[in-house]
Structure 1
Amino acid sequence: MAGQFEHLPLPKINIQLPRRSGGGGFGKKKRDDRETHGRQLLSQISGLTQSVKERKSSFRLDPKLIFKVKLAKDFNLSEDDLTKSGLTLLGREPVANKAIVVFASDEELTEFRSRMENYCGIKTEHKYDYLDAVEALVPLEPQDRLGRLLEIEPLQANEIAALDLELWHTGDRAEMQKYIDQIRQDLQKKSTASAVFKLTDFYLGDYLCVVRIKVNQELLDQLLNEFIVKEIDRRPKAAFETRADYNPSLSELPNVISPSNNCCGILVIDSGVRRGHPLLAPVIGETEVFPDAKREFIKGSADDEADHGTGVAAIAAYGDIEACINKRSFDPTAWIFSARVMNEHNEFDEDLLLENQLEEAILYFINEYPNCKVINISLGNAEQVYQEGRKQLRIAARIDELAYRYQHKNILFVIAAGNSYYYSHRDVRELFRADYPNYLLEPGARIIDPATSAIALTVGSLSLGRGSMTYPTDARRNAVAKISGYPSPFTRTGFGVDGMIKPDLVDFGGDFVLDGDRLAMDNDAAVSIVTFSQNYTSSLFKISSGTSFAAPRVANLGAQLFNKYLDASSNLIRALIAVSAELPREIPSPFQIGSKQSQKQKSAQLEKQLAVYGYGQANTQRAMYSADNYVVLLEDHLEIEVGSFDLFEIPALPSEFLQKKGKRLLSIALAFDPPTRHTRGDSYLGITMEYNFFKGVDRDSVISAYVDAEKAQKTKKTENYSELSVDKLKQKFGSGCVVNLSPGANRRKKGTLQRGRVEISSQATKYDQGSMYLVVSCNRKWVKVEEIPSQRYALVAAVSHSDGEVDLYSRLRNQVRQRLRV
């Protein structure tokens, strides 16, 4: 970004608004054209079976009848129904949204054809209603088999590349071995003296069949047309090969200057830290053992004996350790305080409540050290997986209580989402690769206690996008996610209590390396996170993977923001981080939103994105500074009466912003810290907040619409003030006056951190025709207004253009100054 400027204030006016809430629902459609639709499907069945008979394989591979079943948007097919129809489920094809890939051992599709004839009325033996779910039967195309890395980096002319070829596993290992042998033989026959093609390695398991091949573009094209081929892709590139070599002696270490006395401190609640580490010692404020001064449970000192807290603390202090190594310079941006709460076996004291242990540690440090503003918790209870519809989990509830009780201290909690070993049993670990990333959305992969905390920032994990450095020619050994920004195969996902967006953010935490059926995630430097070693006398650095090491990256950013905004509330820090967050450039196809999808399909895909990524990966530069083409407007320490609304004005956007080609984004982030109660099944939050954004309207009309909502409520006996107000403005100014931010209000308002965003198209209107208005409202759930009459919050708006030449900052700054003077 060009330039680096201070963020701007956001003009505000307070208006009163009655309390309100919302609701809604929808029905399900049924297919009523079975005869016509069924006959179309029968024709498609004939086409599929005929294509198998006519197929001539240049690799002499048996053309198995493998095809794609596209599903209707309101339906699904169970695996049991497929089996009864003579089909075997091979996988779910996310690129086509609702589609599954199936295998038919009967090349005539006899049973499936018979059931379809009954379905459409040719026969009348059974109805087979479940076939309503089948939208179309289509063959797999070569593009369906092309891996993402090959899409990004196609083969060059005359290039012979080592590629990973995965075959559809039919469940018959002997049959799959024949395919492997046939590919090996055919590649040898196609080789010449000047172009050697071969199969160098393979892995055949119960669920996964992968071979390493060396081919050129011509052979790649042939293989992409083979029915049995699932995917062909490049091997991920290994990086940082010199990492293991950088282990300097103590005399060669760069000089580390301790942070200034008023620099923000981060409390790491973990297994302790190794105080003698030469790169960590200069940034340690104080370390202590909790809970027992007598050392009856934790018999040692505050030093890390489990080799976990030291690694977490290093990232909290420095951020990206790998970057520090590369530049041979370590410049800490935070003090580190350490509360050791586990013994050398990473166990908690069985005689004490962890809630009390945490509270004792937190209160000690925030009272003794006013600069201790960020608390990193990279631990959790793997047995306490949050289940949809359940009440809040215990430790998370205590953290929320502490955050509310001591909100005047402005403490930012950052918590790791937790690690999931979904296929933990050796016999099914191949599915970490074969079924990636579908299992991330399974109930067993949901976030754990205390990651469900409503007021904390919960952080999931991303892959660095690297392949295995160990035995790089071994087809058995490969990374699972293997593309930068793809979710780590161990990360846990949302949603949280009452459906709130969790995790809030993601950051780099590493990947799995699967060596056959063995996980080797912490033994491969390329896919792991670099941090400090507890045993620094033998090695200063270590490698590790886990959400534990993603969370302190966000904690470090929080500390940097507190250093910049000395009087900031924790709400402002959360809002700035959220508004800066972006989805990674590359995300797996099951989570992508396609332009040809229906609105309902897009909504479903957005839900998946939010469950895995939250609001995305934070950007330090964008959180801290505005630029010529990126402007942040903010307000902090706001106080709103329960049952009222606040009105904010965002200046009209300059015409150049809309006319210049590029990507235009407008984002709004709201953060608040309400009272909570985990015993309340109706609402965990005692106070909720939400916002709506309008363009092409005048200020008085907005105020009138919300004030009139009170009268409508009394008449209609409804509390849905927001919908009443929005409907009135739509009637007067047209539906285009409401800016539809994503995610929508119904999902956003469930949490205490709400980020909504809209991409402004070149055809958009009224963004440059007068001021726009942002309405923030506060609603009572179960608090008594006489006891808690108001709620504090922070609000941030950001406008950006991808073209760095767009002069957005100076123009908005001048308009903001004029409004503030008025």
Structure 2
Amino acid sequence: MESRNLPIKLFSKRGTQDERRTEGGGGGDLPTWVLSEELLELKSVEFRESLGATAQTIAERPADRRFIPALLKVTVREDAMAKSHRGEVAKIFNRKEEYNFIGVSEDLDFLVKVDSAEHLAFIDHNLERPTVFPIGVSAIDEIRLFEPRIDLPADPDTPLKVKLINFQNRQINQRIESEFEQTLKINDIIYKKTEYGFGLTVFKLDHVQPDALLSVQEFEALYSIDPMPSYRITLDELTPSETLPIKEPIEGQEYFTIGVLDSGIAPIPHLAPWLDKRRYTAYSENEVDRSHGTFVAGILLYGDELEKSNWVGISEFKLLDATVFPQPRIGIDEDELIENIRNAVTAHPDVLLWNLSGGGSLECSARDFSDFGKALDDLQHQTGEIICKSAGNCNKFATSEPKLRIPTSADSIRSLVVGSIAHARGTNDLVPEGHPSPFSRTGFGPNKIVKPELAHYGGNAGLAPNGRMTFTGVNSFSTSGQVVQQVGTSFSTPRVSALLAGLSHRVAGDFDPLLLKALAIHSARYHHSLKLSPMDRLREIGYGLPGSVENIIFNDPHESTLILQDNIVRGGYIEILDFPFPDVLVNDEGQYYGEIIITLVTNPRLDSTQGAEYCQSNIDASFGTYDRIRIRDTTKRTVSNPIGKQNPYNLLLSSHYASRFHRFIDHPFTPERQLRDDMGKYHPIKKYGINLQEMTESHRVRGLMSPKKWYLELKGLFSHAAENAAAADGEQLSQEFCLAVTIRDPLKRHDVYSSVTRSLNVNNFQHNNIQLRNEVNINVRNTNGETGPQSSPN
């Protein structure tokens, strides 16, 4: 096998040469769904009548509660959800510089605040003139008064989780919370208030009596009442296995630190030398069972050695024990767990990578993102850290039922969520090596977000002839120091945490979440024998199994990986018209060929009030060929950029490729192919894997004939709500991203690496090899006390 010793490259856009201004559209035609004047008048009457309940609510509000706005639910037709149409709807409800759309409900209705009788009269006056607002009125299907969601638990001892309406105004929200707390005190309700982040405050109420509950349900700013979720973390050890030599750190050497948010780590001989002297715990000694956390820690430090494989490649780290889960018999409510996690993380600001192998069984919503996930996102936004989060387990395979979807908490946007694949197949196991583990939960997340993003080896499972569940586990340590086996996404997740830590430690420079995520996801591929459709494999194990540290940061001569990191400011975009595609990749027919992998990871703007539209920013990528640069007439109203592409051909469109490649096909490129038609807007991670030879003949002739030029285009988009919020705050909207592009010669005929480097130089790109740290030695002590050196990066 050819050696991989050529470092991947970082390159930069060439200032204003590759920057463009977003141009306005033309045409003022009304959408086809705009109603006739007669139907507009009928809708006007219907909507004005529906405002009567709101008027009564405002009139009947007690004097000391009149500062609380009323809330409307406005249902907008699906084909009118575009940002431009929303602006037309907003004109009906917004006075002057106001923006009264404060959120999106779980069922994708807009929430509109009405702060007074005068404001309601303004809305009524606009609805009285529907022909002045033809698009806005036509876009609305229904207007009604908001009603809180109330889902009371069957068990009266279950604590209640109460949320209030977020009116997007700090002073009003604080006053409302104060009024609500006063209501709770008057009714002798025991409560706890927890800040989840992103302006999301949760009240936990205990043992609420029926008459007191009625007062809570009638509170004017109530958003929802639900049972408070509870969490437990468990481990059942399997058969003890072999022993393993002990690694010890070199005194005076600095090591990367991983925080372990778990049930605690036992200071057994294999782990004790690597435990950070600092420690966080929320529990006394008799409330703790360290079995689960010890197993996780063992995989972080000895994952490769325990399996006699080079799955990660580096595993020498310091571990910070953060005991945030009590023993299983105690359990923990969601608000307490979030508080424990936040306290542990904020108390150790130097620890920027955390492993969280636990977090509930309740399935996430298909539309709305969970409060737990939002809390994890807010924490990572504040600290600049990464949380690697398990995708969750289920045992539906035992009854041949469909897998459960990922749990709440695993829908966290900023967390890297990890599923499990089988590392081996035992006698009764259900799936071959490399397939999704039978117990590993499936995606997608809300709004079809790809969750989990990655998968790693976490075991296999099956059924014995008597119907009993059987498991083929992965190896780690018990609290007594024995090597034992267990299965679960809890134990695939620390392998990805170790990989990110290894990458961060190997790559010189500051901790860079976007770069680390992009490198790991870019390297991921599927097992060569995985016979799942592209959609099924994406749903179950995300983008697949990532490579080892060394395979990620080095190329062989037949490929080249380029990394571009930048940000896109609203009103502009990036267009590189001399992209360094290797000119040696031309076949005998005069057509370009090659395999191209593109991964785009963004740091999106998030808004917890926007329901399924939680992600408020997006970047779209186009990559392809064009004939020549053309001069454009900037005197025209809609033309801002003096140059453009003649006959651009975007190669990232699945319609260009033969239909047989849109499903599973046994082919050398199958493990890396990514052709997804619904690569949705506002998805923070996008990955494309294309083989130019898989294009249809007509598209190859039209798009790949040499000497066409190559381009890369990255365009940002921000939601209507984000733009209005930024305008109110005077904020300049921008979006960070990290883009990885690998171009490969599948025939291994040409030196692609050198060809791309030459093209970078010829076209005046600033570029450099990724900077790496040097190598040092690690002490290894056998169980009989003998020591010896082991190589590891510094």
Once the 2 structures are TM-superposed, how far is the Cα of residue 552 of structure 1 from its aligned partner? 0.9
Kept in 2: contact 1:258–1:332 (CA 8 A): no
Q: In structure 1, give the amino acid aligned to 2:338.
A: E
| Count, aligned residues | 512
Kept in 1: contact 2:616–2:682 (CA 8 A): no
- What is aligned with 2:170? none
CA 1:677 to 1:11, structure 2 compared with 1: closer, same or farther past 3 Å? Answer: closer
Residue 692 of structure 2 is aligned to residue 692 of structure 1: no
CA 1:662 to 1:776, structure 2 compared with 1: closer, same or farther past 3 Å? Answer: closer
- What is aligned with 2:182? none
RMSD over aligned Cα, in angstroms? 3.5
- What is aligned with 1:453? 412
Within 5 Å, which residues of 2 pair with 1:238-387? 246-247=242-243, 253-258=245-250, 261-275=253-267, 277-286=268-277, 288-291=279-282, 295=284, 299=286, 305-324=289-308, 332-345=315-328, 347-350=330-333, 353-365=336-348, 367=349, 370=350, 372-383=351-362, 385-387=363-365
CA 1:467 to 1:311, structure 2 compared with 1: closer, same or farther past 3 Å? Answer: same
Counterpart of 1:12 in 2: which secondary structure? coil
Whole-angstrom distance in 2 between the partners of 1:313 and 1:774: 42
- What is aligned with 1:813? 757
User: 372, 380, 392: which one pairs with 1:395?
Assistant: 372
Once the 2 structures are TM-superposed, how far is the Cα of residue 740 of structure 1 from its aligned partner? 2.4
- What is aligned with 1:64? none
Whole-angstrom distance in 2 between the partners of 1:311 and 1:19: 55
- What is aligned with 2:487? 545
Kept in 1: contact 2:623–2:652 (CA 8 A): yes
User: 515, 521, 524: which one pairs with 1:581?
Assistant: 524
Which ranges in structure 1 are unaligned for 5 or more consecutive residues?
Answer: 22-242, 424-428, 433-438, 469-477, 593-605, 714-720
- What is aligned with 1:747? 679
Once the 2 structures are TM-superposed, how far is the Cα of residue 461 of structure 1 from its aligned partner? 0.8
Whole-angstrom distance in 1 between the partners of 2:708 and 2:12: 15
Once the 2 structures are TM-superposed, how far is the Cα of residue 804 of structure 1 from its aligned partner? 4.6
Once the 2 structures are TM-superposed, how far is the Cα of residue 351 of structure 1 from its aligned partner? 9.2
User: 533, 539, 547: which one pairs with 2:478?
Assistant: 533
CA 1:453 to 1:261, structure 2 compared with 1: closer, same or farther past 3 Å? Answer: farther
Whole-angstrom distance in 1 between the partners of 2:733 and 2:357: 35
Q: In structure 2, give the amino acid aligned to 1:9.
A: L
Kept in 2: contact 1:691–1:777 (CA 8 A): yes
Q: In structure 1, give the amino acid aligned to 2:496.
A: V
CA 1:400 to 1:17, structure 2 compared with 1: closer, same or farther past 3 Å? Answer: farther
Whole-angstrom distance in 2 between the partners of 1:767 and 1:457: 40
Whole-angstrom distance in 2 between the partners of 1:535 and 1:760: 55
Whole-angstrom distance in 1 between the partners of 2:434 and 2:681: 27
Whole-angstrom distance in 1 between the partners of 2:740 and 2:313: 32
Counterpart of 1:381 in 2: which secondary structure? coil
CA 1:655 to 1:259, structure 2 compared with 1: closer, same or farther past 3 Å? Answer: farther
Once the 2 structures are TM-superposed, how far is the Cα of residue 264 of structure 1 from its aligned partner? 2.1
CA 1:353 to 1:343, structure 2 compared with 1: closer, same or farther past 3 Å? Answer: closer
Q: In structure 2, give the amino acid aligned to 1:740.
A: L
Kept in 1: contact 2:464–2:470 (CA 8 A): no
Which ranges in structure 2 are unaligned for 5 or more consecutive residues?
Answer: 26-238, 655-673, 767-794
Q: Deviations over 1:173-225 (max 9, x none)?
A: xxxxxxxxxxxxxxxxxxxxxxxxxxxxxxxxxxxxxxxxxxxxxxxxxxxxx
Counterpart of 1:459 in 2: which secondary structure? strand
- What is aligned with 2:439? 490
Kept in 2: contact 1:17–1:777 (CA 8 A): no
Kept in 2: contact 1:495–1:502 (CA 8 A): yes
Whole-angstrom distance in 1 between the partners of 2:442 and 2:334: 31
Once the 2 structures are TM-superposed, how far is the Cα of residue 697 of structure 1 from its aligned partner? 4.1
Q: Deviations over 1:665-722 (max 9, x none)?
A: 2111111222322321251112222211121344557xx69x9999299xxxxxxx9x
Q: Deviations over 1:54-77 (max 9, x none)?
A: xxxxxxxxxxxxxxxxxxxxxxxx
User: 480, 502, 517: which one pairs with 1:560?
Assistant: 502
Residue 555 of structure 2 is aligned to residue 626 of structure 1: yes
Whole-angstrom distance in 2 between the partners of 1:20 and 1:515: 64
Once the 2 structures are TM-superposed, how far is the Cα of residue 654 of structure 1 from its aligned partner? 3.2
Counterpart of 1:628 in 2: which secondary structure? coil
Q: Deviations over 1:748-803 (max 9, x none)?
A: 54421221121121864537535421111221112233335222221111112344
Whole-angstrom distance in 1 between the partners of 2:678 and 2:464: 44
CA 1:462 to 1:519, structure 2 compared with 1: closer, same or farther past 3 Å? Answer: farther
- What is aligned with 2:541? 613
Once the 2 structures are TM-superposed, how far is the Cα of residue 331 of structure 1 from its aligned partner? 6.8
CA 1:351 to 1:530, structure 2 compared with 1: closer, same or farther past 3 Å? Answer: closer
Q: In structure 2, give the amino acid aligned to 1:733.
A: N
Within 5 Å, which residues of 2 pair with 1:647-686? 647-648=575-576, 649-656=578-585, 658=587, 664-681=594-611, 683-686=613-616
- What is aligned with 2:389? 415
CA 1:394 to 1:517, structure 2 compared with 1: closer, same or farther past 3 Å? Answer: farther
CA 1:493 to 1:245, structure 2 compared with 1: closer, same or farther past 3 Å? Answer: closer
Residue 12 of structure 2 is aligned to residue 7 of structure 1: no
Counterpart of 2:361 in 1: which secondary structure? strand
Q: TM-score, normalised by structure 1?
A: 0.57
Once the 2 structures are TM-superposed, how far is the Cα of residue 535 of structure 1 from its aligned partner? 2.0
CA 1:246 to 1:694, structure 2 compared with 1: closer, same or farther past 3 Å? Answer: same
CA 1:335 to 1:710, structure 2 compared with 1: closer, same or farther past 3 Å? Answer: farther
Whole-angstrom distance in 1 between the partners of 2:681 and 2:558: 29
Counterpart of 1:447 in 2: which secondary structure? coil
Residue 457 of structure 2 is aligned to residue 512 of structure 1: no
Q: Deviations over 1:294-331 (max 9, x none)?
A: x3xx6467xxx24111111222234424345x79x997
Whole-angstrom distance in 2 between the partners of 1:796 and 1:284: 34
Whole-angstrom distance in 1 between the partners of 2:717 and 2:636: 14
Q: In structure 1, give the amino acid aligned to 2:692.
A: I
Whole-angstrom distance in 1 between the partners of 2:498 and 2:20: 38
Q: Deviations over 1:1-27 (max 9, x none)?
A: 433111112342442443999xxxxxx
Q: In structure 2, give the amino acid aligned to 1:379.
A: G
CA 1:331 to 1:797, structure 2 compared with 1: closer, same or farther past 3 Å? Answer: closer
Whole-angstrom distance in 2 between the partners of 1:569 and 1:813: 24
Kept in 2: contact 1:740–1:758 (CA 8 A): no
User: 383, 386, 400: which one pairs with 1:431?
Assistant: 400
Q: In structure 1, give the amino acid aligned to 2:390.
A: A
Residue 638 of structure 2 is aligned to residue 711 of structure 1: yes
Counterpart of 1:691 in 2: which secondary structure? strand
Give the strand-richer structure, 1 or 2: 2
Once the 2 structures are TM-superposed, how far is the Cα of residue 452 of structure 1 from its aligned partner? 0.7
Kept in 2: contact 1:691–1:745 (CA 8 A): no
Counterpart of 2:297 in 1: which secondary structure? helix
Q: In structure 1, give the amino acid aligned to 2:623.
A: F
Whole-angstrom distance in 2 between the partners of 1:708 and 1:757: 40
Whole-angstrom distance in 2 between the partners of 1:758 and 1:330: 28
Counterpart of 2:485 in 1: which secondary structure? strand
Q: Deviations over 1:538-585 (max 9, x none)?
A: x2x110101111111111110111012232520011111111111111
Residue 616 of structure 2 is aligned to residue 639 of structure 1: no
- What is aligned with 1:110? none
Q: TM-score, normalised by structure 2?
A: 0.59
User: 637, 647, 655: which one pairs with 1:733?
Assistant: 647
CA 1:747 to 1:260, structure 2 compared with 1: closer, same or farther past 3 Å? Answer: farther
Counterpart of 2:764 in 1: which secondary structure? helix
Whole-angstrom distance in 1 between the partners of 2:306 and 2:339: 36
